[in-house]
Amino acid sequence: MSEIIRLYHTGFSEIRNPDIRYGRKNADFGQGFYTSQNSEFSKRWARFRKGEDTILNVYDLDLSDLSVHHFERDLSWFEYIDANRNRKPDLLEADVITGPIANDTIYDTLGITTSGFLSKEQSLKLLMIGPVYEQIVIKSEKALTNLKWISSEVLAPDLIAEYRDTVKKEEEEFQKKFAEVLSEI
């Protein structure tokens, strides 16, 4: 029996055949194709680029016969993120990794939590701030063969602006809370 999940990815092109080696090796879950099951969240990542459309790509991923590792917001999650950001070898053997996006990526405090100036416990305390948004990362060629492009949609500039305003307000709240917690550490 197959288990199919719907995934979304926002970018500046229709991506029918993603490249899992294209992404940054030092991202949260290492190199891979980053997606979300939440179309609204994917739209939040939409950006403007002069002369280009912003496109929401839609995929189905069949999880049958794939190894899936799921992280929770805990110490093992932090250690995996920290290792990837510090370009250590990715020793986790999984076709797909799911779990929370580190909020320092979303809200532009990147570097503080994995700088080495804070203890793991202090960093984790900062990463626990804010809402939990999940990401699904396609890590292996095997998983890529189970990923099927379904469609794409051009996002209107006014919709992108609306989502950017939402993110800005959320980021302001996050930054205040982040500063409070940081001052307590």
At 114-150, the pLDDT tens digits run 777 888 888 888 888 888 999 999 999 999 999 999 9
Interstrand relation of 147-155 and 54-62 (parallel, antiparallel or unpaired): antiparallel
Q: What is the pTM of this model?
A: 0.89
How far, in Å, CA of 57 to CA of 8, rounded?
A: 6
Q: Which residues of 152-162 are buried (b: 16+ CB within 10 A; e: fewer)?
A: bbebeeeebee
How far, in Å, CA of 120 to CA of 77, rounded?
A: 11
Tell me the per-residue pLDDT of 84-115, one tens digit each, with 9 for 90 and over. Answer: 888 888 889 999 999 999 888 777 776 777 77
Candidates 102, 120, 122; CA nearest to 26 is: 102
How far, in Å, CA of 73 to CA of 99, rounded?
A: 8
Q: What is the average pLDDT across 29-52?
A: 91
List, in order, residues 6 or more apart from 175 with CB less than 8 Å away.
107, 109
Candidates 182, 135, 148; CA nearest to 34 is: 135
| DSSP helix/strand/coil, 184 | helix
The β-bridge partners of 35 are 136
Question: What DSSP designation does 107 have?
Answer: T
Checking if the pLDDT of 56 tops 70, the result is: yes
Residue 111, judged by CB atoms within 10 A of its CB (0-12, 13-18, 19+), counts as: exposed
Residue with tokens 């992280």: 71
